[in-house]
Amino acid sequence: MIRVGIVGLGFMGKMHFRCYQALEGVQVAAICDTDAARFEGQGGAVGNIEGAEAPLDFTGIARYDDFDRMLAESELDALSVTLPTYLHKPYTVKAFEAGLDVLCEKPMALTVADGQEMFAAARQSGKRLQIGHCIRFWPEYAAAKELITSGRYGQVTAATFQRLSLTPGWSWQGWILDGGKSGGAAVDLHIHDSDYVQYALGMPKAVFSRAARGPSNDYDHIVTQYLYDGDRAITAEGSWSMAPAFGFEMSFHVVLEKATLVYDCTRAPTFKVCPTEGEAFHPEVASGDGYSNEIEHFVKAVRGERVAEIITPQQSIDSLRLVLAEKRSAAAGELVYL
């Protein structure tokens, strides 16, 4: 039995909790949160994902408001770090010093230097560091990645990715709407698509971004062109400046030489392949969602099972590097080379 701890029981901490609870051979043994009200068992934080509000049962789980005590007393094997982003580094480094494997939420950190420190601590401890880039595990995105890399439909000539959200009003002490603590929507939300662009197409040579400031007083609506050799047209748009009634939408179009791949979370079925010849069809995709799949992957790896290499710490640092380059491009109004 793998003994897991969670630090930070907000929107994502609760999500991790539910995903661990659904798996065999893993036990959430301890949870730490400085806000006692988080343990009252309500879903509480709502976030922008449906179905996250069901009540939780913490019976038999050790509860802490002091992280050091949890580490000292709970005999954990692994830890989920689901704290506000500006706290990821110190808690992750401490967990490695205590000899745990760590699944830390994305974005890895707010600076590349902090991400590198986290990776160095992981290497020093010999333990696993997985960053929560759940879109790599999201069934439709994973299916698209497989179709792209298989070469079945030729090369990607163009692609566009969108992630648009109402303004997040649910975070603890409003940290997410403080650009200094979250990096704004560019770093917090849009990084999902920057990371996927890197995953599916490799690191671009350069980026050109336009961005608007929003409620976090940072870039909360960003549109980026990712530049590669050749004529590819690759763009992504991320925002949490949408009106409340808009809710949340994520989607993509990937244009290959012999097919167009379409995903839209608001449609059913969500994923469609449109070959250049013949009818469109809806391929089967894996079950679950990106959260449950990434957590299952983490647990398997902690257990010592062989798992595919889906997300590495270096790629997580590179995604941060990419999104920070996008912000610099927006600020300077010019291309930024990577």
Ligand X SMILES: NC(=O)c1ccc[n+]([C@@H]2O[C@H](COP(=O)([O-])OP(=O)(O)OC[C@H]3O[C@@H](n4cnc5c(N)ncnc54)[C@H](O)[C@@H]3O)[C@@H](O)[C@H]2O)c1
Per DSSP bridges, beta strands 233-242 and 129-132 are: unpaired
Site string for ligand X, 102-121 (x = CB under 6 A): ---xx---------------
Closer residue to ligand X, CB minimum distance, 5 or 204: 5
Contact segment (CB under 6 A) with ligand X among 4-12, 206-214, 260-268, 281-289 equals 4-12
- C-alpha 69/C-alpha 85 separation (Å) is 22
User: Among 107, 186, 139, 148, which Cα is nearest to 293's?
Assistant: 139
- C-alpha 22/C-alpha 38 separation (Å) is 20
Answer yes or no whether residue 171 interacts with ligand X by CB under 6 A. Answer: yes
Answer yes or no whether residue 148 interacts with ligand X by CB under 6 A. Answer: no
Min dist. Cβ of residue 111 to ligand X (A): 14
Answer yes or no whether residue 190 interacts with ligand X by CB under 6 A. Answer: no
Answer yes or no whether residue 7 interacts with ligand X by CB under 6 A. Answer: yes
How far is C-alpha 272 from the geometric centre of its chain's CA atoms? 23
Answer yes or no whether residue 12 interacts with ligand X by CB under 6 A. Answer: yes
Q: What share of the chain is helix, strand, coil (3-state, %, to 5)?
A: 40, 25, 35
Min dist. Cβ of residue 233 to ligand X (A): 27
Answer yes or no whether residue 6 interacts with ligand X by CB under 6 A. Answer: no
Answer yes or no whether residue 8 interacts with ligand X by CB under 6 A. Answer: yes
- C-alpha 23/C-alpha 21 separation (Å) is 6
- What is the helix (H) or strand (E) element at residue 250, kind and residue range? strand 248-256
**Amino acid symbol at 137:** F
- Binder of ligand X out of 31, 32, 52, 320 (CB under 6 A): 32
Ranges within 70-89 binding ligand X (CB under 6 A): 82-85, 87
Going by C-beta distance under 8 Å and a sequence separation of 6 or more, which residues neighbour residue 51?
A: none
Min dist. Cβ of residue 245 to ligand X (A): 21
Query: Which residues contact ligand X by CB under 6 A?
Result: 7-13, 32-35, 38, 45, 47, 67, 82-85, 87, 105-106, 132, 134, 171-172, 175, 188
